[in-house]
């Protein structure tokens, strides 16, 4: 019996849970890891200049402190799958919540620059784990009829986490009289900004005790009866539970565990399709999107914007990011992945080019001229909007769909690793590049945005409406 016939027999494809609200709660609780992913990634934006002043460090050292979390991200992402397969998805979430909590406390109370960097790595490890375990758990628990919509909770939670971190930073900065090193609760404002993450981290940990383990994991360790109970809970009692358990068990037995050696081939080490995945990941980061989330407050202050206003602009950028993500979620299955990517690339070229032009003017009394200042601000929002409605979402959709079944897991791992490395390269280089020439830095990002257009046209194939078995 094929997997399709088995699914039809079990009724899985048409399963509708009796308590949809409960299933939504389960997905939302798991997506709290995505919220922390976005929050922790972005909250450092409010502390950059204070860290520079507190420890009297230059741009290169500052960049390493900001970017070092990405090393933890890469390690966490690489190990989360194995940890989850050994001890379960829920235990993995709980470990991640503990690490987020420890990182928040340590980052808020550092003794010196070196231990601040260490706590950033710990937080990065938690981010890496959350980036893998959240989508995997939701996909395994969600009823097939609702999987796409519930799976989108993770990306939505990430962008909401980014926005909330910027809003919290802005509120705390106002409470501290506009000074990142102003006193709040006996600490400097930037320390409180980093420490506030304890609240969602603890909430994530508590929520993990209120949701069930993945049926797929339970079946893998022989707990079939408990798996049946959870399947009935999330998919309803109108499906054939025995057939559903058998379907999952047979699928797991027939899965090919892809290995790194399966990716090798062709004239340039990897198979061509793997290079396309790497290219998508690299272009997604080399347009400089994370500069907008890690350094935007610093960027606006460097061209004469008041610190409090710079934090407000960072928050409005995050709202635009949410709007763009929602647009992408609405149109990615209607318009297609490739058209959205091309539309986004054109919009990003326009926004980045205008920023480069605006930043090429000399400061007058420590500020950009009014026309150039407003141009830079509007262009930054245009850039983020077009990124969010295109490359921010479609790259992950492409990477999940474009690889043949036999190499999907390994190829996705390589492409995701390339994305973390590219993210690190941009994050670590921006302060030094900005000190050298801010306008030229944005010209570099513009060039990469422009190059993404012929890359998509020549190498990236549309995956909309195709079965996974057709890929490759």
pLDDT tens digit at each of 472 positions of the chain: 444 444 445 555 545 656 678 888 998 999 998 899 889 888 888 888 889 889 988 888 888 888 888 888 888 887 887 788 889 889 999 999 999 999 999 999 999 898 999 999 999 999 888 888 888 888 788 877 776 677 778 878 888 998 899 889 989 988 998 888 899 888 999 999 999 999 999 999 999 999 999 888 898 888 888 988 888 888 777 777 788 888 888 777 766 666 667 777 766 788 888 899 999 999 999 999 988 877 777 778 877 777 778 878 888 888 998 999 889 888 887 888 899 999 999 999 999 999 999 999 988 877 888 888 889 889 999 999 999 999 988 887 887 778 876 777 677 778 878 888 888 899 889 888 988 999 999 999 999 999 999 999 999 988 776 654 455 5
Q: According to the model, what pLDDT value does residue 364 have?
A: 81
Q: According to the model, what pLDDT value does residue 465 have?
A: 67
Longest dimension (CA), the chain: 76
Give how far Cα 135 sits from Cα of 27, 44, 212, 338, Å: 9, 24, 15, 23
Q: According to the model, what pLDDT value does residue 257 have?
A: 64
SS3 content of the chain, % helix, strand, coil (to 5): 80, 5, 20
Gyration radius of the chain over CA positions:
23
Give dist(CA 247, CA 6) in Å, integer: 6
Residue whose tokens read 């000074």: 179
Residue pair 327/155 in contact by the 8 Å Cβ criterion: no
Give dist(CA 56, CA 143) in Å, integer: 53
Q: According to the model, what pLDDT value does residue 274 have?
A: 87
Q: According to the model, what pLDDT value does residue 1 have?
A: 45
Residue pair 433/441 in contact by the 8 Å Cβ criterion: yes
DSSP 472: -
How many angstroms separate the first and last alpha carbons of the chain? Answer: 25
């Amino acid at each position: 019996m094929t997997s399709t016939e088995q699914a039809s027999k079990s009724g899985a494809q048409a399963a509708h849970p009796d308590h949809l609200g409960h299933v939504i709660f389960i997905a939302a609780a798991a997506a709290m890891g995505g919220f922390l992913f976005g929050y922790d990634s972005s909250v450092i934006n409010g502390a950059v200049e204070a860290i520079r002043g507190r420890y009297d460090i230059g741009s290169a050292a500052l960049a390493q402190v900001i970017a070092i979390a990405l090393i933890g991200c890469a390690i966490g992402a690489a190990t989360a799958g194995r940890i989850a397969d050994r001890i379960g998805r829920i235990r993995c979430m709980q470990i991640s919540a503990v690490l987020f909590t420890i990182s928040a406390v340590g980052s808020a109370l550092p003794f010196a620059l070196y231990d601040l960097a260490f706590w950033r790595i710990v937080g990065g490890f938690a981010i890496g784990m959350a980036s893998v375990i959240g989508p995997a758990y939701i996909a395994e628990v969600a009823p097939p009829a609702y999987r796409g919509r519930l799976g989108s909770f993770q990306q939505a939670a990430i962008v909401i986490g980014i926005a909330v971190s910027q809003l919290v930073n802005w509120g705390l900065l106002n409470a501290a009289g506009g000074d990142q090193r102003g006193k709040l609760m006996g600490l400097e404002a930037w320390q409180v900004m980093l420490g506030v993450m304890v609240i969602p981290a603890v909430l994530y940990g508590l929520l993990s005790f209120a949701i069930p383990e993945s049926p797929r994991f339970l079946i893998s360790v022989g707990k079939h009866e408990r798996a049946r109970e959870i399947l009935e809970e999330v998919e309803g009692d109108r499906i054939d539970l025995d057939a559903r358990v058998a379907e999952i068990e047979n699928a797991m037995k027939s899965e090919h565990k892809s290995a790194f050696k399966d990716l090798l081939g062709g004239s340039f080490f990897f198979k061509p399709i793997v290079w396309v995945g790497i290219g998508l990941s690299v272009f997604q980061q080399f347009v400089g999107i994370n500069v907008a989330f890690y350094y935007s407050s610093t960027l606006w202050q460097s061209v004469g914007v008041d610190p409090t206003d710079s934090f407000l602009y960072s928050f409005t950028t995050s709202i635009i990011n949410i709007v763009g993500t929602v647009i992408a979620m609405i149109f990615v299955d209607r318009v297609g992945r490739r058209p959205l990517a091309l539309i986004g690339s054109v919009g990003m070229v326009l926004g980045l080019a205008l920023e480069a032009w605006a930043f090429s003017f000399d400061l007058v009394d420590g500020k950009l001229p009014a026309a150039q200042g407003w141009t830079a601000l509007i262009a930054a929002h245009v850039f983020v909007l077009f990124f969010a409605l295109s490359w921010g979402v479609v790259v992950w959709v492409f990477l999940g769909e474009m690889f043949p079944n036999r190499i999907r897991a390994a190829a996705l791992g390589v492409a995701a690793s390339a994305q973390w490395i590219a993210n690190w390269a941009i994050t670590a280089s921006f302060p030094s590049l900005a000190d050298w020439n801010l306008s030229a830095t944005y010209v570099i990002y513009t060039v990469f945005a422009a190059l993404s257009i012929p890359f998509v046209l020549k190498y990236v194939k549309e995956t909309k409406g195709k079965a996974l078995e057709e890929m490759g």
